[in-house]
A = this chain, B = another copy of it.
Amino acid sequence: MAGTQRLESERGVTRDTRQRRAIRAAFLSTDRPLDPNEVLELAAGEHSGLGIATVYRNIKMLLEEGWLTAVELPGEVTHYEVAGKEHHHHFHCRMCGKVFELNACLPNVQQLAPQGFAVTGHDLLLYGSCRDCSPA
């Protein structure tokens, strides 16, 4: 996973195409992480004929320019959300499959690693049923 990032100077001007605008709009119109297919469906509403390859390429560019961040969910394909949010985690609804943001974390997370292990980051994921899918 190292060496994925490139210097911005390696890329020329980044053009503002109709497709990229539709893809950005898809993320901005949703408050939860999206996977490439969800992006395609949402963005295709604004511009049909959009190809999945373009979605992947734009996601990659938007990641590189820091507009998106990857949300990697165990057992799910990688989702993406707009960057710049505070440190947070996610809730994965087992009923509807949607992923929600949690504006919370736990202290002392780093202390769980044994001696000799250096912790540089962590992920926390809750599972269950979301507000709309919970029985009560």
A125 to B: closest C-beta gap in Å: 5
Which range holds the interface residue count of chain A?
Answer: 35 or more
For residue A48, CB closer than 8 A to chain B, the reply is: no
In the complex, are the beta carbons of B121 and A124 less than 8 A apart? no
Q: With A and B bound together, what is the CA distance between A5 and B94 in angstroms? A: 16
Q: Judging by beta carbons under 8 Å apart, are B102 and A112 in contact? A: yes
CB 8 Å contact bits of A85-118 with B (1 = contact, 0 = none): 0000101001000001010111011101111111
Instruction: Check A122 for interface membership: any CB of B closer than 8 A.
Output: yes
Chain A to chain B: the 4 pairs with minimum beta-carbon distance, closest first: A72-B74, A116-B131, A121-B127, A72-B75
List 18 contacting pairs A-B, 8 Å CB cutoff, sorted by A: A1-B75, A72-B74, A74-B123, A75-B78, A91-B113, A94-B120, A102-B114, A110-B126, A113-B126, A115-B131, A116-B130, A116-B134, A118-B128, A118-B129, A119-B127, A122-B126, A123-B123, A123-B125
Chain A positions near chain B (C-beta within 8 angstroms): 1-2, 70, 72-75, 78, 89, 91, 94, 100, 102, 104-106, 108-110, 112-131, 134-135
